[in-house]
Chain A
Amino acid sequence: MSAEEYIWSIFDRIERLDSKIHAYLQLDREGALAKAKELDRRAKKGERLGRLAGLGVAVKDNICVRSLQATCGSKILEGFHPPYSATVIRRIELEDGIILGKANMDEFAMGNTTQSSAYGPTLNPWDHARVPGGSSGGSAAAVAAGMASVALGSDTGGSVRCPASFCSVVGLKPTYGRVSRYGLIPYANSLEQIGPIGRDAESVSLLFNAIAGHDPEDATSAREPVKSASVGDIRGMKVGMVKEFFGEGIHPKVKSKVMDGCSQLEALGAHIGETSVDSLPYSLAVYYIIAMAEASSNLSRYDGVRYGRPPATGAADWNAAFAKTRSEGFGEEVKRRILMGTFVLSAGYYEAYYVRAQKVRALLTHEFARAFKKFDVLLGPTMPVLPPRLGEKVTPLEDYLIDINTVAANLTGFPAISIPCGLVERLPVGMQLIGARFREDLLLRVASIFGSEVGYRSPPPTGAA
């Protein structure tokens, strides 16, 4: 099949399925087909093509692609066309990957259901009455439904791994600093990383290796060389089941599904042990304090004057005009986090919340580092629950609580992956593995072996075939 035929087939599928699923906010059919034709021409001439040649990539809408609108799922950035592309996009293009379009997301990546997008929710391809997870829900749903070969998401507190788990695909949150954040519209800088999503470990590996590596444009980018994907087995690999990940509030069938996954790893030769990370129960509060604090500062830049939504009219003065623009442009969850972040940073409360959270974060990092002296990877369920129903009424706090197992990897900077682990009540369950710093290679090795030996690769979801 030529690249052009392949890309046509993807757009065909998008046409048939996406009016229902709504994974994409914008498509670049013309650009994608032009690039595919160019690849076919170059292949005919016998030219060597890049590592991603012919792969169709969906890009989360908070990652800048020059000439395509970047809304971050928010009304406040409506009409914003970034004048440059993110480093990850330039690297994908250099390796001959084909950008298909921009994927739906929770507004400013704040959420775990993709329901806070100002442009309407994305549906879970496995069950259209359920959410795909978030905040990279469009990216994961596009991959799961065969509407993209691979996708880019971003993960601030689980936003790649949560939708990967709920949509039964593989999603990797790299080590902090491993992938450049240049061109990623920031939400919480000290926590987030861009990460690849794919139907199997091999495609995730391909995309990860294309985007990883030092970038002088990002001051937090790591200089450590990228480890090439290691082949081999997992015999003798030490896997630590983290007690706290199986704690209070977990769906019993999700728990037993992930325990089954663990036994399968054991059957493949891994040594399974149990361990404890004492500060884990605090991780959720620590995460939300830090993420909201950083968000309140980051989102102060949106005023309607320099880009995006035009400023509101009819306000009395400068400050009132900004307040009006921002109140009309931001959704509820974004406002909530800005207010809360402003609170935890304000005089009189800063020490009690923000500084204390940073101390517990350091303690948590220390405890994880200690666990990695005994184990190669740490394991637990990615999400403690099955994908929630669309529109289910929960309080903001109840909604935050389902991030309990994912936030620690962001707070500590360690890489983490979600691997499909099977179905419960015909809904996907994901298994999370966390690795030591820069050991994405080990996570991908487990994902690859688990995928080929256990065969988690499920058929395309009903209604999407």
Chain B
Amino acid sequence: MDIHQVERLADLSRLSLRPQEAERMRGELSSILSYFATLDKADVSKGPAPRETPHDGVLRDDLVRPSKPEEILEGVPQRKGRYVKAPKVF
């Protein structure tokens, strides 16, 4: 993994890394990746098909239920009345 890849991943993940942090991550991620490569030796040809979860999802009806907008708004770090303040888009 090269430094450009690390920077691209950081960008995709909305993380900003200082140059020396990015360089350290590059080394660490590379060694983790080479460990992951041990999976190349696994013979998956005989195995069953993977499932997303061990249980079949149980769907419930999409019903309107009472919620707590006031309480939820109380947890917003920055707001103006009932509006949530967010960083500038432009």
Sample (9) of A-B pairs whose CB atoms are under 8 Å apart: A177-B55, A317-B89, A319-B14, A326-B14, A330-B15, A340-B32, A353-B39, A359-B50, A395-B28
Stretch at the interface among A4-12, A128-136, A298-306, A416-424: A298-306
A340-B32, A362-B51 known; 4 new pairs, CB 8 Å cut-off, are: A286-B39, A306-B84, A321-B88, A323-B14
Which residues of chain B are near A360, meaning CB under 8 Å?
39, 42, 44, 47
Residue A20 at the chain B interface, CB threshold 8 Å: no
A310–B78 CB distance below 8 A: yes
Which residues of chain A are near B35, meaning CB under 8 Å?
285, 397
A317–B77 CB distance below 8 A: no
Residue A396 at the chain B interface, CB threshold 8 Å: yes
Q: What is the distance, in angstroms, from A63's C-beta to the closest C-beta of chain B?
A: 17
Closest to B8 in A: A346
Q: List which B43-75 residues lie within 8 A (CB) of chain A.
A: 44, 46-55, 57-60, 68, 71-72, 74-75
B86–A395 CB distance below 8 A: no
Closest to A356 in B: B39
Q: What is the distance, in angstroms, from B5's C-beta to the closest C-beta of chain A?
A: 8
Q: List which A317-336 residues lie within 8 A (CB) of chain B.
A: 317-324, 326-327, 330, 335-336
Report if A311-B36 is in contact (Cβ < 8 Å); known contacts: A359-B47, A363-B48: no
* Assembly CA distance A282 to B38 (angstroms): 7
Residue A342 at the chain B interface, CB threshold 8 Å: yes
Pick from B29, B31, B72, B89: contact of A339, CB under 8 Å? B29
B49–A362 CB distance below 8 A: yes
Closest to B43 in A: A363
Q: What is the distance, in angstroms, from A191's C-beta to the closest C-beta of chain B?
A: 10
Q: What is the distance, in angstroms, from A372's C-beta to the closest C-beta of chain B?
A: 14
Q: List which A340-357 residues lie within 8 A (CB) of chain B.
A: 340, 342-344, 346, 353, 356-357
Q: What is the distance, in angstroms, from B36's C-beta to the closest C-beta of chain A?
A: 5
Which residues of chain A are near B14, meaning CB under 8 Å?
300, 303, 319, 322-323, 326
Which residues of chain A are near B58, meaning CB under 8 Å?
216, 219, 221, 223
Closest to A292 in B: B32
* Assembly CA distance A69 to B89 (angstroms): 30
Report if A396-B75 is in contact (Cβ < 8 Å); known contacts: A220-B57, A339-B13, A363-B44: no
Which residues of chain A are near B89, meaning CB under 8 Å?
317-318
Binary CB contact string for chain B from 2 to 40 against chain A (1 if under 8 A, 0 otherwise): 000110011011111100000001001101110110110
* Assembly CA distance A323 to B15 (angstroms): 4
Closest to A323 in B: B16
Report if A176-B76 is in contact (Cβ < 8 Å); known contacts: A285-B36, A318-B87, A366-B47: no
